[in-house]
Structure 1
Amino acid sequence: MTTQHLQNRVDPWGQLRTVASRGTRMGNRGILHNDANQVVRPWKHKRWVTCMLEFKQIKRPKPFSRGNYSELFFLDEATAFAAGHRPCGDCQKARHLDFKEKWLAANVDAQLRSAISMDDVDKVLHAERCVPGGGKTTFAATLGELPKGTMFEFAEAAFLVSAAGYLPWSFDGYGPAKRIDGATAVTVLTPASIVRAFEQGFVALVHASAGLDDPAAVASAQKNPS
């Protein structure tokens, strides 16, 4: 019997796709589906988060259950950041706080940081990641200036800047590094303020195929829920 996959796998452009590969992170943008489990909106709120697949043995309902938020899935955290998501404050509290600290240090004057809430951060991220109707907000940069963890578009494909080089992205993992001149102008997919947080020292977790294992990646990479 053929498994019916949902339109809930997220690519680095933030688009929702219908593919079998699950990935290693889950995400939330609110309730995006209707009673027929069809996606009818690209987001419901501005608190786009990325979550652990499992947390404190909590049993989540079947994805796209009636009245529940639409569970989204990412290859890894770097992909989630490129799409404009940030760590959840519930299942990843320490990581959430570390991200906020680095993000504020990179983007907000020191005397103003104590007054900035995560809602304020989410408003900035929302303006940086998408346009009305669901399109992707991007910016141009010179490749060699981008920090590790950043994702960019080149030759109509997505790539990760990593310690192993420029790695082509897919729903199943990263391919071998490609040689691209560092002086090349590229389209950056990761929101600008998150790129600055990477420059401040925040490190995005990446899929095991990148050669720098995310501890959550290996055990769950082959599971394919609806």
Structure 2
Amino acid sequence: MPLQNRVTPDGRIIAVHERGRWMGNRGCLHDDNRNLGRALWKHPSWVICTLELLPGRPAPRQLMAPRHYTELFFLDEATALSAGHRPCARCRRAAHDAFRHAAGGFDRTGDLDQQLHGERVAILKGRAQPVAQADSLPDGAFIKADGQAMLIAEGQAHPWTPGGYGAPRPLPRDPVPILTPATSLKALANGYAVQMAL
């Protein structure tokens, strides 16, 4: 049985067999039996980390080890941004700095985290669901159309699944709900080079 550690573009955490290309962290969300509780986060610093073993980093440990943070996984970086995460300052310093600058030039990472946290919590709790014309959104943004998450890229909508993207479709003509938080949308619109599994 797979662990519940895979994140969807709308920020939910699901259990599937497919593996992710990026790892994330929201704090310790699991118990000693590696089951998730009700909490979707324990702190506002939701990061996107590389899966590469970098010099000076400890060797990989058992997933969901007791009293350690819960390792979360994403299909691609676009999924992670849509779920409300941002590049890690420790293992992805250049990406972190580029994202922080493109998102509005935040002086402190903590300020960026607080801004993102308010936006993603509003989306997760259903308090805010901004809408827009799909063709006005930058590549790397996620929308919800036909009941599913879709990635905007190269003038098309790509249906998201845990294992990859389905066949591209024409962009919806009517306004659609946006899944990607506004701060991350701004970073994408300002040229942040997001990784997409296309």
CA distance in 2, matches of 1:12, 1:148: 14
| Matched residue SS, 1:8 | strand
1:202 to 187, 192, 197: 192
CA distance in 2, matches of 1:60, 1:84: 25
CA distance in 1, matches of 2:129, 2:63: 30
| Matched residue SS, 1:193 | helix
Indicate if the aligned counterparts of 1:26 and 1:74 stay in contact, CA closer than 8 A. Answer: yes
CA distance in 2, matches of 1:126, 1:55: 28
TM-score by length of 1: 0.81
CA distance in 1, matches of 2:50, 2:196: 14
Query: Structure 1: which amino acid aligns with 2:195?
Result: L
Deviates more, 1:34-43 or 1:78-87: 34-43
1:29 equivalenced with 2:26 (yes/no) = yes
TM-score by length of 2: 0.92
| Matched residue SS, 1:104 | coil
Q: Could you list the runs of 5+ residues in structure 2 that have no partner in the other structure? A: none
Of the two, which has the highest radius of gyration?
1
- Per the TM alignment, residue 131 of structure 1 is displaced from its structure 2 partner at its CA by 3.9
Query: Structure 1: which amino acid aligns with 2:43?
Result: H
2:83 aligns to what?
A: 83
CA distance in 1, matches of 2:154, 2:11: 24
Equivalences, count: 194
RMSD (CA atoms) = 1.6
CA distance in 1, matches of 2:185, 2:83: 12
| Matched residue SS, 2:194 | coil
- Per the TM alignment, residue 175 of structure 1 is displaced from its structure 2 partner at its CA by 1.1
1:214 aligns to what?
A: none
| 1:61-89 deviation per Cα after TM superposition (whole angstroms, max 9, x unaligned) | 11100121000000000000000000001
- Per the TM alignment, residue 164 of structure 1 is displaced from its structure 2 partner at its CA by 6.1
CA distance in 2, matches of 1:60, 1:138: 37
Indicate if the aligned counterparts of 2:27 and 2:70 stay in contact, CA closer than 8 A. Answer: yes
Query: Structure 2: which amino acid aligns with 1:32?
Result: L
- Per the TM alignment, residue 135 of structure 1 is displaced from its structure 2 partner at its CA by 2.8
- Per the TM alignment, residue 204 of structure 1 is displaced from its structure 2 partner at its CA by 1.2
Runs of 4+ in 1 over 2 A off after TM superposition: 134-138
| Matched residue SS, 1:27 | strand
Identity %: 37
CA distance in 1, matches of 2:87, 2:129: 21
1:47 to 45, 48, 71: 45
Query: Structure 2: which amino acid aligns with 1:143?
Result: A
2:73 aligns to what?
A: 73
1:117 equivalenced with 2:114 (yes/no) = no
2:161 to 152, 170, 186: 170
1:109 aligns to what?
A: none
Q: After TM superposition, list the pairs within 5 Å mapping 1:129-168 onto structure 2.
A: 129-131=120-122, 135=125, 137-163=128-154, 165-168=156-159
Cα 1:59/1:98, change in 2 over 3 Å:
same
